[in-house]
């Protein structure tokens, strides 16, 4: 059975940290394909200057390897996107697949407050990055999975991951000063050609 992972985010812009995390999690869960899904953002939140179309195109440039498939399903849907709806759509695209859902530690520890989280857990195996070498955080995540989410060991994967310590906000600020160290070359060229984040 094909293993398909779902990796969502605003990707504003997509940077090397996003890609490294996706590759690490894919390797640890044995994913055959990672579907990268930029979120639909309301006009009120798109103050960065990058449109949904820009973010989608930058993702296509950043995640260009065969492992990745960049999808605009949330952008087309528009409005507020719920993860459960996205998983349902991906399952239709890959009906014979086993789904995995990538996320960071903070998102994982709030999963019991997500819309229809029980269905999310039915549709996918959660793959959460513990973005630290803090063993206490790792224990907290495992306890949360078992005691709060009632998941058995085979229904979640927690991966120790050392991230690139930079946020999209910092990258946007760096771009104003001509610094693009954390971006793929094609993404950097796209940003310059479109005059984004200035």
Mean of pLDDT values over 68-97: 94
At 145 the pLDDT is: 97
pLDDT band at 81 (very low <50, low <70, confident <90, very high): confident
Comparing 78 with 37, the larger pLDDT belongs to 37
pLDDT band at 44 (very low <50, low <70, confident <90, very high): very low
Q: Which two tokens stand for residue 134?
A: 């803090």
Q: How far apart are CA 106 and CA 158, in angstroms?
A: 12
126 DSSP β-pair partners: 101, 156
Report yes or no: 38 and 11 within 8 Å, Cβ to Cβ: yes
Mean of pLDDT values over 74-97: 94
H-helix or E-strand spanning residue 185: helix 185-194
pLDDT band at 45 (very low <50, low <70, confident <90, very high): low
Q: Decide: residue 109, CB within 10 A, 0-12 exposed, 13-18 middle, 19+ buried.
A: middle
Q: Which of 72, 53, 70 is nearest to 62 (CA)?
A: 70
Mean of pLDDT values over 158-186: 87
At 71 the pLDDT is: 97
Average pLDDT along the chain: 92
Q: What's the pTM value of the predicted model, to 2 decimals?
A: 0.93
At 190 the pLDDT is: 97
- The count of other CB atoms within 10 Å of the CB of residue 92 is 9
Torsion angles phi and psi, residue 35, rounded to 5: -90, 110
Residue 145 neighbours by CB under 8 Å, 6+ apart: 108, 126, 151, 155, 156, 158
Q: How far apart are CA 64 and CA 85, in angstroms?
A: 25
Mean of pLDDT values over 55-78: 96
SS3 98: strand
Which of 1-10, 75-84, 124-133, 162-171 comes out lowest in average pLDDT? 162-171
Which of 78-87, 102-111, 157-166 comes out lowest in average pLDDT? 157-166
């Amino acid at each position: 059975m094909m293993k398909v992972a779902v990796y969502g985010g605003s990707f504003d812009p997509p940077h090397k940290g996003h890609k490294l995390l996706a590759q690490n999690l894919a390797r640890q869960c044995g994913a055959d394909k990672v579907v990268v899904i930029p979120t639909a953002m309301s006009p009120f939140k798109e103050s960065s200057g990058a449109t949904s179309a820009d973010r989608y195109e930058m993702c296509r440039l950043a995640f260009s390897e065969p492992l990745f498939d960049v999808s605009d399903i949330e952008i087309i849907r528009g409005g507020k996107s719920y993860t459960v709806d996205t998983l349902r759509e991906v399952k239709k695209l890959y009906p014979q697949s086993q789904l995995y859902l990538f996320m960071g530690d903070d998102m994982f520890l709030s999963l019991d407050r997500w819309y229809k989280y029980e269905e999310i857990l039915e549709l996918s195996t959660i793959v959460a990055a513990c973005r630290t070498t803090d063993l206490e955080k790792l224990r907290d995540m495992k306890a949360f999975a078992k005691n709060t989410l009632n998941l058995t060991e085979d229904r979640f994967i927690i991966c120790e991951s050392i991230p690139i310590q930079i946020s999209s906000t910092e990258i946007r600020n760096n771009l104003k000063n001509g610094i693009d160290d954390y971006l793929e070359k094609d993404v950097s060229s796209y940003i310059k050609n479109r005059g984004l984040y200035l």
